[in-house]
Structure 1
Amino acid sequence: MSDEKTADARSTDALGRYLKSVRLGLDLSLRNVEEATGKEVSNAYLSQLETGKINKPSPHILYALSTALGVPYETLMERAGYIAPSKDRPEGAKHGRAATFAIDNLTQDEEQALLDHLAYVRWHRNK
């Protein structure tokens, strides 16, 4: 696989994992998100996004999801590969995602682990 295709697969995987983490953190089902988007994003489509079966959603879909999930549109656009990733920011710049922007230079895996933990904490709190 070429470096470009590998980068695209990582980006798409990051988008799917991120969407699922946020959705679960908000204790929303796939159908809840479908309703929150005014049925612009079906639960089946969202499931395919989360599992990586759909790898390049349109900016329109990303906007609907950002509104429904309360996450920055720019974050979804970056994770979908439409805009430059934050790693291209100058050395020492804070990345500003999640609650992590007070911590310097997290890897994508470290950030995802924090988001997963946050989703668990929110889920546990709402039980």
Structure 2
Amino acid sequence: MNFYEQLRDMRKLKGFTIRELADRSGVSAAYISQLENGNRGVPSPDVLMKLSEGLNTPYAELMSIAGYLARTGSEHDDNLSKERPRVNLRRFLRENELMFDGIELTEQDKDWIERMLTVLFWKEKQRRENEPG
């Protein structure tokens, strides 16, 4: 299966129309349509970055499918995923410039996200603090 077919399949698997992917990624719908129909060459790494954000797919995966990165065996990939470091989400929110669906998050946006996550995990934190041990 070539890059164009895989891109189309990824988009459909996520349940997005071409227009939705365009809105989420900032890449024009016409360009995405031409890509999926094989009427354009493999996009640049910059365009792949935007598409990866729009598809909520790892950038390295699209780079690999497009032929920019060498693929590794699936057993090796499984080992890599098990060895990935854990990210402190609170620190990640505070220390990075972030986007969501093409919208740049302000400091206030990031504060609200942090507050929502604090509420979401409050019960679990209380449970762990009250565990004997």
Q: What is the TM-score normalised by the length of structure 1?
A: 0.55
Residue 19 of structure 1: SS of its match in structure 2? helix
Of residues 82, 90, 93, the one that matches 2:75 is: 93
Answering whether residue 63 of structure 2 is matched by residue 81 of structure 1, we say no
Of residues 1, 4, 17, the one that matches 1:29 is: 17
Match of 2:36 in 1: 50
Q: CA RMSD, aligned part only?
A: 2.1
Structure 1 runs (4+) greater than 3 angstroms displaced: none
State the alpha-carbon separation in 2 of the partners of residues 93 and 32 from structure 1. 34
Bigger Rg, structure 1 or 2: 2
- In the TM superposition, residue 95 of structure 1 has moved relative to its aligned partner by 4.4
Percent identity over the alignment?
34
Of residues 57, 78, 99, the one that matches 1:71 is: 57
Where relative contact order (Cα < 8 A, 6+ residues apart) is larger, the structure is 1
- In the TM superposition, residue 31 of structure 1 has moved relative to its aligned partner by 0.8
**Which consecutive residues of structure 2, in runs of 5 or more, have no partner in the other structure?**
82-133
State the alpha-carbon separation in 1 of the partners of residues 14 and 69 from structure 2. 26
Residue 66 of structure 1: SS of its match in structure 2? helix
- In the TM superposition, residue 36 of structure 1 has moved relative to its aligned partner by 0.5
